[in-house]
Amino acid sequence: MDIAAARTFLEVLKTGSFVAAAANLNLTQTAISARIRVLEEQLNRSLFVRNKAGVRLTPAGEQFHRFAITLVQVWERARQQVALPAGRDTVVTIGGEHSLWNPLLKNLLQWMHQECPDIAVRAHIDVGDRLMDQIQEGILDIAVVYAPPRRPGVVSELLLEEKLIAVTTGRADGEWRDGYVHVDWGPGFAASHHAAFPDLANPAVAVNFGPLALEYILAAGGSGYFRKAAAEPHLRTGRLNPVKDAPQFSYSIYAVYSAKAEEEFQDRVKVGLRAVAADQW
Give per-residue pLDDT as tens, 158-206.
999 889 999 999 998 888 998 999 999 988 899 999 999 998 888 899 9
Give the bridge partners for 180, in sequence order: 223
The chain-wide mean pLDDT, for the chain, equals 90
Integer CA distances (angstroms), 201 to 74, 104, 246, in order = 46, 32, 16
Q: What pLDDT score was predicted for residue 82? A: 74
Using CB atoms within 10 A of its CB, is residue 237 exposed (0-12), middle (13-18) or buried (19+)? exposed
In the structure, what pLDDT confidence band is assigned to residue 262 with cuts at 50, 70 and 90? Answer: low
Average pLDDT over every residue of 137-154: 88
Question: What own/partner pairs with CB < 8 Å and gap ≥ 24 does 47-52 have?
Answer: 47/9, 48/12, 50/18
pLDDT of residue 68 exceeding 80, the answer is yes
pLDDT > 90 in the chain, percent: 60
For 142, residues 6+ apart whose C-beta sits below 8 A from its C-beta are: 92, 93, 94, 95, 135, 255, 256, 257, 261, 266, 269, 270, 273
DSSP count for the chain of H helices, then E strands: 10, 13
pLDDT of residue 1 exceeding 60, the answer is no
In the structure, what pLDDT confidence band is assigned to residue 52 with cuts at 50, 70 and 90? Answer: confident
Q: What pLDDT score was predicted for residue 37? A: 93
In the structure, what pLDDT confidence band is assigned to residue 53 with cuts at 50, 70 and 90? Answer: confident
Q: Are 81 and 92 in contact (CB under 8 A)?
A: no
More confident residue, 259 or 144: 144
Average pLDDT over every residue of 124-140: 87
- Its pTM stands at 0.65
Q: What pLDDT score was predicted for residue 8? A: 94
What is the per-residue pLDDT across 71-123, written as a single tens digit (0 to 9) for each? 888 887 777 767 778 888 888 889 999 878 878 899 999 999 999 999 999 89
Q: What pLDDT score was predicted for residue 99? A: 78
More confident residue, 87 or 263: 87
Q: What pLDDT score was predicted for residue 57? A: 94
